């Protein structure tokens, strides 16, 4: 099982703050992903990365940005949080070919913007 | 039409019964298929990959029907702990360069 860690698990913060959600994996996976999921709703891919210095936007438009400076680390940043950003953010990673390997998820960050 | 579609349920299943549900996908070039399980307010966890010939893992059986473009999951002898949302995951695109999640099928196993 992949070891993938997200911090913080829960974050409640005021509007306008800059937020960085951390995601790290220790499996050496090249591919990493960020999903957004509201309660009882579908997962939506918001960012992904093929490897170091590679970042792409996903299916769902997001005001967040990501970076991939190291293989194991894929942080997501919101420059100015708004209530509409309230959601659960899930990070995942996979090895090998994009479509042929399953993704392993972190525990998620539950974000609430007041 | 969504790329990956699932009946959202819920499927209310008596404990010990068998339940089966499908997931349809739109791209005939899809190559990889998975079933994930997601408990309420938790992250998705890989349940099983789906192979062309069908495969079984304990009480769980997955099937692939390429002609009709759907995969299925069957759960035998349902346990209360099987209550969860089951997510169908398909790679979309001939190059296998994208995984798409279905909306999930909710299963509730009751005593």
Question: Which tokens in the block code for residue B16?
Answer: 């010990």
Find the closest chain B residue to A91 by CA distance: B43
A106 in B contact zone (CB under 8 Å):
yes
**A102: nearest CB among B31, B49, B98:** B49
A8 preceded by a cis bond (ω within 30 of 0): yes
Cβ of A98 within 8 Å of Cβ of B91? The answer is yes
How far from the centroid of its chain's Cα atoms is residue B9's Cα?
A: 12
With cut-offs at 50, 70 and 90, classify the pLDDT of residue B37: very high
Contacts of B104 in chain A (CB under 8 A): 42
- Which residue in A110, A34, A44 sits closest to B40, CA to CA? A110
Residue B2 has pLDDT above 60, yes or no: yes
Q: Is A107 on the interface with B (CB under 8 A)?
A: yes
**pLDDT of amino acid A97:** 59
Give me the residue label for tokens 């392993």.
A104
- pLDDT (tens, 9 = 90+) of chain A, 114 residues, equals 559 999 999 999 999 999 999 999 999 998 999 999 998 888 999 999 989 999 999 888 889 999 999 999 999 999 999 999 999 999 999 886 555 678 899 999 999 999
Rounded Cα gap, residues A34 and A47, in angstroms: 5
Tens digit of each residue's pLDDT (9 = 90 or more) over B39-72: 998 999 999 999 888 999 999 999 999 999 999 9
Cβ-proximal residues to A40 (8 Å cutoff; 6+ apart), any chain: none
Q: Is the peptide bond before B21 cis (omega within 30 degrees of 0)?
A: no
- Provide the pLDDT for residue B97: 57
**For residue B107, which of B41, B26, B19 has the smallest C-alpha distance?**
B19
CA distance linking residue B110 with residue A103, whole number of Å:
30
> What are B1's two structure tokens?
């039409």
């Amino acid at each position: 099982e992949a070891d993938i860690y997200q911090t913080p698990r829960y974050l409640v913060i005021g509007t306008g703050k800059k937020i960085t959600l951390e995601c790290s994996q220790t499996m050496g996976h090249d591919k990493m992903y960020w999903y957004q999921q509201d309660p009882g709703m579908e997962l939506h891919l918001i960012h992904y990365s093929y490897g170091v210095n590679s970042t792409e936007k996903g299916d769902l438009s997001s005001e967040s940005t990501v970076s991939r400076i190291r293989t194991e680390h894929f942080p997501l940043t919101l420059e100015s949080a708004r209530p509409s950003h309230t959601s659960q953010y899930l990070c995942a990673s996979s090895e090998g070919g994009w479509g042929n390997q399953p993704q392993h998820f972190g525990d998620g960050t539950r974000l609430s913007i007041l | 039409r969504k790329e990956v579609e699932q009946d959202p349920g819920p499927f209310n299943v008596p404990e010990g019964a068998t339940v089966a549900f499908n997931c349809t996908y739109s791209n005939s070039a899809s190559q990889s298929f998975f079933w994930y399980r997601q408990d309420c307010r938790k992250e998705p966890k890989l349940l099983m990959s789906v192979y062309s010939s069908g495969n079984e893992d304990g009480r769980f059986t997955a099937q692939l029907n390429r002609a009709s473009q759907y995969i299925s999951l069957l759960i035998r002898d349902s346990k209360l702990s099987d209550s969860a949302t089951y997510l169908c995951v398909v790679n979309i695109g001939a190059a296998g360069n994208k995984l798409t999640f279905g909306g999930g099928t909710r299963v509730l196993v009751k005593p």
